[in-house]
Amino acid sequence: MPRIIDLSKPIRFNAEDPWFMRVKIKHKPHKAARWLIRFLGLPFRLFPKDFVGWADDTIKHMGVHATTHLDAPWHYYPTVAGQPAKTIDEIPLEWCYGDGVVIDMTHKADFEVITLQDIQENLQKMGVRLQAGMIVLIRTGRDKFNGTKQFADVGTGMSKEATEWLIDQGIKVMGIDQWGWDLPMRYMIQKAKESGNRDLFWQAHLVGREKEYCHIEQLVNLGTLPPTGFKVCVFPLKIVGASAAPARVVAILNE
C-alpha cells in the first residue's frame, strides 16, 4: 500500500497570523439544522427518531493566499510573454501531479537568497537530473514557524536566476515550506528602500512576466520526505478567475 504524507497546513483561525491572512470559520451545531428543516415545512413530530440535525460550517473569511496554496501565473502579472496569464481555474491538471524532488536548503540563513548554484549543487550531490513535469519542492525548514508571529518575517527565498532555471528545465510547478517564494516581504521592502534598487522587490515572483509557471507556498512536512522516489498531488480549488487557490498537497510514496 502507498504511504500518503500530508504537505498542507491546517485551515483554521490563528490569532498569531498577520491580519491579512487570518481565516475565520463559523462552526454550526447539529441542532441548528432542526430549525431549518422545520422552516422548510417538516413538523417536529415527523422528524426521524433521535434526529439531532446535521453539523455545518461556513468559511466567513479566507484569502486564497492565506494557507497552503498554489499561485497561478495571473498572480504575478496580467500577461506572460505578452499573452494573457492563466488564472487558477485555467491551470492544466497535468501540471499538478508528477514525480517529486526535494531540494534541501535548510542550511540557508534567514534573508540569504537561494541561488542557482545552490540548486545545481544540491541536485548534483543527490545525483538527480530534473525531467520536465517534475514538481520541485524547496525545503527551508521554516515550516516550524508556521502559526507563529514570526512566520511571515523569517526565511530565505528563491532568486530570479534559480527560478528561471527550474522553469527552463520543464518544471511547471514548484513549492516552498515558508511564507513566500521570495525573501520575506518586509525585508525586501527595507532593502529596496535602503538601496534605491527597484529590482530587489519580488524578483522571483516577477519571473512569471516572461516564463509561465506556478509555485506552492506554505508547505509543511518536507523533512519527512526522501529527496526523490515519490509522487506529488497539488490540486487547487477551482475558483474561477482567481490568482491562487488553497490546495491539499500530498506526497505519495510506494513502500
Looking at residue 19, its pLDDT comes to: 87
> What is the Cα gyration radius of the chain?
21
Provide the whole-model pTM.
Answer: 0.95
CATH superfamily, domain at 69-254: Putative cyclase (3.50.30.50)
**Hey, what's the cell of 15?**
490569532
- Where do you find CATH 3.50.30.50 in the chain? 69-254
Give 193-239 pLDDT, tens digit per residue.
Answer: 999 999 899 999 999 999 999 999 999 999 999 999 999 999 999 99
